[in-house]
Amino acid sequence: MTNRKPRVLATRHFPPDVETRLAASFDAVLNPEDRLYDGPALVKASAGCDGIMCAAGDALNAETIAALPASVRIISTFSVGYEHVDVAAATKRNIAVSNTPDVLTDATADITLLCLLGAARRAHEGTTMLRTHNWVGWNPNQLTGVHVTGKRLGILGMGRIGQAVADRARAFRMQIHYSNRSRLPPDLEKGATFHANADDMLPYCDFLSINAPMTPATHKWVNAERIGKLPKGAVVVNTARGGVVDDDALIAALKSGRIASAGLDVFDGEPKIHRGYYDLENAFLLPHMGSATVETRNAMGFKALDNLEAFLLKGQAPPDLVKAS
């Protein structure tokens, strides 16, 4: 019987307080330079590890998981989204997978409203005008945008984050429509209009907010055909996963004016985003900042650690165990 602490690989340089606790609880293999591991590098770095603390974008696909050392028993992701982990492949190898729900709901809903308002009110053009010394003064027609109050907001994916977005949007007296795998009970629905078929919701979306996870069913869901069902001049917001949007289709609609503007915090293939976005004045773009507050990133890290500690130190199931769908 050995008293060695379980070894845990941190694939990223996590917040300082999180790494301090990681190093206190485990034999931590840290990544202070925040080097990005590809699949083979991740396999190599996890030699002798009992657990892996990873993040979105890490290549924990079937191939990587199949090659992981036999010692690895848990993958704890520092994220609520877990499309980067092949849960079925992990389950096949008897590796538990956990995520960090709840703690980033508010921060992500806040950034969704920032994207919604930033797109509607032409924030990118305004800040650019000012910072490039091109503001010659107020004028009555300057940077007039899309009015928000009272408009219809369609939310694709009414989970925790979608509901928090709806709560915030109600403060703007927006009329909430939503589509979700299942209808919410009245106390959570709060008068919002449910659309069993998400396509049927599109004609009601003056604003469309994507808050659904990335799955085979949502891959490139916002495509040319669906954009065609939105009211002319609608605003599209995505703070979930870039892969839910067909970039070519959205960029074409932003160029033609079919879509008035977009507020995007996430991108397919990020950080190498579709080049077409860079030239669009009517795209308000952020670099995946949804959960980027000190409090939230710490809470995510502590939750990822709760999962690792329950499993590796207490022999319990991780509280946020993820199951293959």
C-alpha–C-alpha distance, residues 105 and 164, integer Å:
7
Q: Tokens 């599109």 correspond to what residue?
A: 202
Q: How far is the CB of 264 from ligand 8YV (least distance, A)?
A: 13
Quick one: which of 6, 81, 157, 301 contacts ligand 8YV (CB under 6 A)? 81
Q: Does 234 bind ligand 8YV (CB under 6 A)?
A: no
Sheet holding 27-29, edge to edge: 27-29, 7-10, 51-54, 74-77, 96-98
Q: What is the largest CA-CA distance in the chain?
A: 78
Phi and psi angles of residue 307, each rounded to the nearest 5 degrees, phi first:
-65, -45
Which residue in 7, 84, 258, 288 is the catalytic one?
288
Q: Interface mask (CB under 6 A) for ligand 8YV, residues 89-128, using x and -?
A: ---------------x------------------------
| Structure tokens, 104 | 């980033």
Identified binder of ligand 8YV from the candidate list 154, 157, 159, 290, rule CB under 6 A:
290
Alpha carbon distances (Å) from 305 to 49, 82, 100, 273, 289: 15, 16, 10, 31, 22
Verify whether residue 281 is a known catalytic residue.
Answer: no
Is position 60 an interface residue for ligand 8YV (rule: CB under 6 A)?
A: no
55: contact with ligand 8YV by CB under 6 A: yes
How many angstroms separate the Cα of 319 from the Cα of each of 65, 96, 179, 187, 322? 22, 11, 28, 26, 9
CA distance 43 to 5: 20
Q: Is 288 a catalytic residue?
A: yes
User: Binding pattern to ligand 8YV, positions 245-284, x when CB under 6 A?
Assistant: ----------------------------------------
Active site residue 241: yes
179-208 residues in contact with ligand 8YV (CB under 6 A) are: none
- The span from the CA of 186 to the CA of 265, in Å, is 30
Nearer to ligand 8YV, 56 or 310 (CB): 56
CB of 99 to ligand 8YV, least distance (A): 8
Give the residue, chosen from 43, 49, 52, 80, that forms a contact with ligand 8YV under the rule CB under 6 A: 80
Is the Cβ–Cβ distance between 10 and 29 less than 8 Å? yes
Q: To the nearest whole angstrom, how small is the minimum distance from the Cβ of residue 312 to ligand 8YV?
A: 20
Applying CB under 6 A, the residues found at the interface with ligand 8YV are 55-56, 78-81, 104, 290-291
